[in-house]
Amino acid sequence: MEAEGQARLQLAGVSKTFGAVRVLDDVSLDIAAGEVHALVGQNGSGKSTLIKVLAGFYQADPGATAVIDGAPRELGDPNDIHAAGVRFVHQDLGLVPALSVVDNLALGHGYARSQGMRINWREQRAAARRALAAVGYELDVRRLVDDLQPVERTAVAIARALQSAHGEMSILVLDEPTATMPKGEVQRLVQIVRAVRSRGVGVLYVSHHLEEVFELADRVTVLVDGQRVGTERCSQIDHKKLVTMMTGGVVDDVRRRAVGTRGKTMLSLERLSGAELTGLDLQVRAGEVVGVAGITGSGREEICSLVFGSKPRRGTVTVGDRELPPSRPDRSCRAGLALVPANRLRDGVVIGLNVRENLNITTTRGLAKFSFIRPGLDRRQAAALGTKMSVKAPSLDASIEALSGGNQQKVVLGKWLQTNPSVLLLDEPTQGVDISAKAEIHRLIDDAVSQGLAVLVCSSDEAELERLCDRVVVLREGRAVAEVAAPDIRTRQLIHLSLGLTA
């Protein structure tokens, strides 16, 4: 079915094989002018690969064609695609971590010069601030991208895609822009996307949050294992049907854990300060899940790193009845603390080690007998864990980068769950994870909690907090401003509280 208006992008016959694994199988897709076209599918279904083929990162198998605004373009040539006005916000990359925000925004766009060659830094910084303000964020543009929170990186990437596209943008591609974005900020992004599409730009939008798809998109294309199973108008399909197309079944993510089996206090924070956060007091008991909500910059993003000791802090952190020294992640680990960090690529997975080594990294000592790692045990444990977390990987010895974003996340979560920690710190635990895997992860957390685990979960996804938590603390400007307890936790109310609107 052809969309009205002239197609701005027509992709046809895209296949991609890595080694012997076929990741995309004859996928075709078209986007009309002013259309928001959603691309959905489970983790590892090939969404990012399709986007990287379009961007020219990967060479597609022979036979793939791209037509942009009526003119055939060379797939696999990043410059040609860029010249055609296609702009990308990639899932995991696209920014240079070692450079500042200013430099990243100037890449591919050019620096402001004063006379001759000299870069006019003042002008350049002001331009960077304007570009970020246009997408609703305010940050110190001299900071290195490496030091930014994931959502701030996304903001920089979006700002860059938009600024380098005055008028000549034909297609905007957004690969999971909202993975770590609180709902309040998602609304702002929705406004931006609507403004972009009203200029006649076609938008390709990838997200695991299906409500965004229905809010924003005109049509949706579903990928399953690299094959396109259908393209539907959003007005002619409902949530349930879409989930069925993606997963072949229904996903029910309902809470099964009973409230009220609490043990003694396992984690206790007293006057915890550092970064944005000022003087937070918080207790988490065994068998309890405490959530932290808050918009970007409220201090929510820092709590887990402060507690774990990967960022310098003031105040005391007590686990069980032992006080933890600051800045000693190894001691925190030994005290029974585990951290699933928000920045997966920098802090979570060890690039360079393979899937098996990443899964077992927290328990390697336990695999060794007389300091000899038993290879059979090594493989069996990794395989069992991979299966338990439903990790989709080409093989256990594949490089961790060969996994899709959501599957890397499952690896990170799995490696900590198998250490049987007494306190689990979760920072954006299900970012980029598809809905069925998310339900699965929630169930795993429920199970661990009913066996006495204490969990502190910081999440930008308020619906996830409603689903998981016994109590939610809402932060604003570094302070706790409200606390809600189950069963009265409501997504809408959390959003309102964190934005400072009265509920």
Partner 1 sequence: MTTSSTSGPAPGHRAAAPERLERDAPGPDSKNRPAWSAGALRLDRFSGLYLAVVLVVVFSVMLPDTFGTMDNARVIAASSAIAGILTLSVALSMAAGTFDISLAANMTFSICLLGALLTRGDLAWPVAVSLTIVAGALVGAVNAFVITRFGVEAIVATLGMSSVLAALSFWVSDGQTVLISDAGPSFADAGQSTIASVPITVFYLAAVAIALWFVLEHTPFGRYLYAIGSNPQAAKLAGIKVQRLQSLSLMITGALAALAGVILTMQLGAASFGAGAPYLLPAFAATFLGSTQILPGRFNVRGTIVALYLLAIAVKGLQLQFPDLPWIKDLVEGSVLIVAVSITARAISRRSTR
Verify binding: residue 62, partner 1, rule CB under 8 A.
Answer: no
Strand partners, 476: 479
Listed ranges 90-98, 183-191, 193-201, 261-269: which one lies at the site for Mg ion (CB under 5 A): 90-98
Give me the 74-93 binding string for partner 1, x by CB under 8 A, dash otherwise.
-------------------x
Query: Cα 337 to the chain's mean position, in Å?
Result: 23
133 binds, among partner 1, Mg ion, ligand ATP, none (CB under 5 to 8 A by kind): none
Phi, psi (deg, nearest 5) at residue 171 = -135, 135
What single-letter DSSP state applies at residue 430? T
Pick one of 406, 414, 421, 429: the residue that binds ligand ATP (CB under 6 A).
406
Verify binding: residue 56, ligand ATP, rule CB under 6 A.
Answer: no
91 vs 100 by CB, closer to Mg ion: 91
245, two tokens: 């197309």
Give me the 398-437 binding string for partner 1, x by CB under 8 A, dash otherwise.
xx-xx------------x----------------------
SS3 for 421?
Answer: coil
Verify binding: residue 365, partner 1, rule CB under 8 A.
Answer: yes
105 vs 433 by CB, closer to Mg ion: 433
390, two tokens: 């439903």
Q: Say how far apart CA 41 and CA 419 lie, in whole Å.
A: 31
Number of chain positions touching Mg ion (CB under 5 A): 3
43 vs 154 by CB, closer to ligand ATP: 43
496 to 11, 182, 381, 404, 503: CA distances (angstroms): 41, 11, 44, 33, 6
Listed ranges 257-265, 291-299, 347-355, 386-394: which one lies at the site for ligand ATP (CB under 6 A): 386-394
Verify binding: residue 477, partner 1, rule CB under 8 A.
Answer: no
DSSP 135-195: TT----TTSBGGGS-HHHHHHHHHHHHHHTTTTT--EEEEESTTTT--HHHHHHHHHHHHH
Verify binding: residue 98, partner 1, rule CB under 8 A.
Answer: no
Helix extents (H) in 361-399: 364-367, 375-388
Peptide bond into 487 cis (omega under 30): yes
410 binds, among ligand ATP, Mg ion, partner 1, none (CB under 5 to 8 A by kind): none
Pick one of 8, 40, 44, 338: the residue that binds ligand ATP (CB under 6 A).
44
3-state secondary structure 36-62: EEEEEECCCCCHHHHHHHHHCCCCCCC
For the chain, what percentages of helix, strand and coil (3-state, to nearest 5) are there?
Answer: 35, 25, 40
Find the shortest distance in angstroms from Cβ 91 to Mg ion: 5
72 vs 352 by CB, closer to partner 1: 352
472, two tokens: 């939610």
46 binds, among partner 1, Mg ion, ligand ATP, none (CB under 5 to 8 A by kind): ligand ATP
Verify binding: residue 450, partner 1, rule CB under 8 A.
Answer: no
Pick one of 202, 294, 315, 386: the residue that binds partner 1 (CB under 8 A).
386
Verify binding: residue 354, ligand ATP, rule CB under 6 A.
Answer: no
Verify binding: residue 405, Mg ion, rule CB under 5 A.
Answer: yes
Find the shortest distance in angstroms from Cβ 281 to ligand ATP: 37
Verify binding: residue 108, partner 1, rule CB under 8 A.
Answer: no
Listed ranges 139-147, 151-159, 405-413, 489-497: which one lies at the site for ligand ATP (CB under 6 A): 405-413
Please check whether residue 19 is in contact with residue 219, taking contact to mean a CB–CB distance below 8 angstroms.
no
Please check whether residue 198 is in contact with residue 34, taking contact to mean a CB–CB distance below 8 angstroms.
yes
428 vs 446 by CB, closer to partner 1: 428
* Contacts (CB under 5 A) with Mg ion, residues 22-81: 48
Please check whether residue 474 is in contact with residue 494, taking contact to mean a CB–CB distance below 8 angstroms.
yes
Find the shortest distance in angstroms from Cβ 319 to Mg ion: 35
Here the contacts of 79-84 (C-beta below 8 Å, separation 24 or greater) are 80/56, 81/54, 81/55, 81/56, 82/108, 84/170
Find the shortest distance in angstroms from Cβ 356 to partner 1: 9
247 vs 419 by CB, closer to ligand ATP: 247
What single-letter DSSP state applies at residue 25? E
Query: Cα 448 to the chain's mean position, in Å?
Result: 23
Q: Say how far apart CA 302 and CA 478 lie, in whole Å.
A: 10
- What residue number has its CB nearest to Mg ion? 48
Per DSSP bridges, beta strands 202-206 and 171-175 are parallel
Q: Please report, as ranges, the residues that interact with partner 1 according to CB under 8 A.
A: 18-21, 52, 57-58, 93, 308, 310, 329-330, 332-334, 339, 341, 346-353, 355, 357, 361-362, 364-365, 367-368, 371-373, 375-376, 379-380, 383, 386-387, 391, 393-399, 401-402, 415
Give the footprint of ligand ATP on this chain (CB under 6 A).
Answer: 18, 21, 23, 41, 43-49, 91, 392-394, 402-407, 432, 434
